[in-house]
Chains A and B, each alone.
Chain A
Amino acid sequence: MEYSLVLLLNGISFGLLLFMLSSGLTLVFSLMGVLNFAHAGFYMLGAYIGYEASLRINFWAGLVLAPLTVGGIGMAVEYFGLRKVHRYGHAAELLFTFGLAFLIDEATHLIWGRSAVNYAIPAALSGPLFSIGEAQFPIYRGFIILISVAMLVAIWMLLRMSRIGLIIRGALTHPNTISTLGHDLPWVHMLVFGIGAALAGLAGAVGGAAFVTEPGMAHALGPIVFVVVVIGGLGSLGGAFVAALLIGCIQTFAVVADFNLGGILPFLHWNGIESITVSRLAPVLPYFLMILLLVLRPQGLMGKRAL
């Protein structure tokens, strides 16, 4: 029981990290109609910048530098890239971000090599925060929860309580009115794209130290973030939040579950399929869930329109 409570907290911390990624993706999609395939690449860049900062300055500087740098890169990508390919239509925008993701992967290979780098958790944040019975909950996991929640509150306040947030929310529903009122819509687009990238960069700087910082990390996490967005209902922040926590917890629980498929479905006997343990099933579950949801509820958990 104590053990599953700690697992739940672990799942929530992973889920919140996923939400930091998927919120940026969702915001950019709702505003610009662009699905940013390079989003996981921004996450990876954030991790590497955090790593470099932790080597040269310290870990905390990385937490500031990573979102700022990646946010700047994101704004540049919007200004010099997306804006230009926009005239060729949505397919070209998708292709552009896909190519960009590929380019970020390759540049990472060339700059930092193909093996993982040692991006360490600072001493102040290592060790257990508390333990329930024999199960320990690491400080760093708590730190991830803290950072994510703080970030989300900040974003919520920016969107709900500031003037710029008002313009962004207006641009979501009534872009033409917003530009008629004299607001610079392209500038809003660039800003939001930058914010999304900065969130991914921060998630990278935080997550890179918790997990492993390697050139394959974008490829490993990217599809899961996309699944979160599809399950939540594309364009719905609330849906993305629920889906991120759901996937985070499912992944965390599945990894430690130690019973096999034959135990659940006794009639399964094919090519050794009955001996597959649920922990090995963990990578499949998000995609499986996505397929299931698309069959049952094509608009996603909280999506308003049919896809």
Chain B
Amino acid sequence: MTGSYRLRILGGIAAAIAIVVFPSITRDAFAIAVVTQMGIMVIFALSFNIIFGQSGMLSFGHAAFYGLGAFFSAHSMNLMASLSSPTPLPLVPFIGGFTALIFGIIFGLIATRTVGAIFGLVTLGIGELVRTMLDLVPRFSGGESGVVTNRIIGTPLLGASFGTPVEIYFLVAVWMGVCLFAIYFLTLTPLGRMANAVRDNPERAAFTGYSVSFIRFLQYCLSAFFAGIAGALSAINSEFVSVESVGLFNSGSVLFATVIGGSSLFLGPVVGAVVFVFFVSFLSIFTSAWMLYLGVFFLIVIFYLPGGLMGGGLTLLAACQAANRQELASIVFRATAVVSVTLGGVGLIETLYQFSKTGRAAFTLSHTLPFDLGQILVWVASAILLVGGLISIIVLHLRQRMVAPGVKA
């Protein structure tokens, strides 16, 4: 246990060093912007996991708190600028957090009366309620053009006026660290422990004398608070908020990130947020079908990786450590099959999609080759990869059945 403890501390220190030195390694503005976005998403996903992973409440309207936090901080920043208030900018996320907390209390009183699927529906309804209400007050929500704000306000802190992206990067990094520790600490408190009990068995949890619904309510409010902080940081980062930030797509994004990373482990949402933002930022440059891949990836995770990428990765690591040479070869073989199915599938979707749009193949191998040859080559290569991978997966599956008849995988 001490070994794993030491490993965790070392990992944490390594991650902190990596975060600190990252802006000095790269001067690429896009990379810094993406990593800043990852930091905000990490807070958002961790806040979502307070209710989902920790308390077993699946919400489909969590973006309401993110968006409301963003709107109220943007308006506060504009107000502070007009009053020339000396309050330093790094404190603004508190405004987002506390306004979201107030809304969390109001909505929590209603939503936490329900559990399970109905809770999902009610939170979905609350999210839509907030979105449609914001549409009604264009003077507050800015209508379609959104609310623009300016982050150079208040007294500079530690010599930083927070004008440059690197300064915002560090602001987000510090807030992320604070939130990460706060939410981790929450899981160690009696409230956090009881929330786990309520998630696993509400009936038994009630017999310990705690009010199950009150625990759900408290977790809901705390989760709203941290989501508001994430929203405020996004308002500071992009100096812009629109009604889209409260929409169903944003609620779905945080859900996707958390599930992809793995909700059952504390650091799962962190991994998920990083992967998700990476997915969205880079994939959207290369292909217009990126949302389709995201959806397929999400479904694959649900089917085959119930512990998410983090859980799956840890299982794989343990299997590799315990495996003998033959088993290791089988793991490598399986991984190759999965990679080849992915490559083949992506190749086919891209070429078909590109073909349906323009009548041209997406990747022509070489411009000197005759056009048709390149297209056919890509198609054939993708088809071989896809079919070959699928066949090897099916063969593996059948062999497993023959080795252990009647034993369910």
Residue from B137, B292, B353 within 8 A of A271 (CB atoms): B137
Residues on B with beta carbons closer than 8 Å to the beta carbon of A102:
252, 291, 294-295, 298
Residues on B with beta carbons closer than 8 Å to the beta carbon of A100:
299
Residues on B with beta carbons closer than 8 Å to the beta carbon of A217:
none
- B124 A103 Cβ-Cβ under 8 A: no
Q: In chain A, residues 25-40, which have Cβ atoms closer than 8 Å to a Cβ of chain B?
A: 29, 33-35
A106 proximal to B (CB < 8 A):
yes
- B133 A284 Cβ-Cβ under 8 A: yes
Residue from B121, B126, B295 within 8 A of A99 (CB atoms): B295
- Given A110-B353, A291-B126, CB of A96 within 8 Å of CB of B299: yes
Q: In chain A, residues 43-100, which have Cβ atoms closer than 8 Å to a Cβ of chain B?
A: 81, 84-85, 88, 90-92, 94-96, 98-100
Which of A148-156, A203-211, A275-283 faces chain B? A275-283
Q: How many residues of A contact B (CB 8 A)?
A: 47
- Given A287-B132, A288-B129, A298-B114, CB of A91 within 8 Å of CB of B56: yes
Least distance between A22 CB and chain B CB atoms (Å): 12
CA gap between A291 and B110 in the complex, in Å: 7
Least distance between B199 CB and chain A CB atoms (Å): 10
Least distance between B134 CB and chain A CB atoms (Å): 10
- A229 B299 Cβ-Cβ under 8 A: no
- Given A283-B132, A287-B132, CB of A307 within 8 Å of CB of B299: no
Least distance between A196 CB and chain B CB atoms (Å): 15
CA gap between A281 and B136 in the complex, in Å: 7
- Given A92-B306, A94-B58, A223-B124, CB of A103 within 8 Å of CB of B296: yes
Closest CB pairs A-B (n = 10) = A287-B129, A103-B295, A35-B117, A307-B118, A307-B114, A106-B292, A283-B132, A284-B132, A99-B298, A102-B295
Residues of B whose CB lies within 8 Å of any CB of A are 56, 58, 60, 110, 113-118, 120-122, 124-126, 128-129, 132-133, 135-140, 248, 252, 255-256, 259, 289, 291-292, 294-296, 298-299, 302-303, 306, 353
20 more CB-based (< 8 A) A-B contacts, given A290-B129, A294-B114: A35-B120, A94-B120, A95-B58, A95-B255, A95-B259, A96-B302, A99-B295, A103-B299, A106-B295, A109-B291, A226-B121, A227-B121, A229-B121, A271-B137, A284-B132, A287-B126, A288-B129, A290-B122, A290-B125, A291-B126
- 21 chain-A/chain-B pairs, Cβ below 8 angstroms: A35-B121, A84-B303, A90-B116, A94-B58, A99-B256, A99-B295, A99-B298, A99-B299, A102-B252, A106-B289, A106-B292, A223-B124, A223-B128, A234-B118, A234-B121, A273-B136, A284-B133, A284-B136, A287-B129, A291-B125, A307-B113
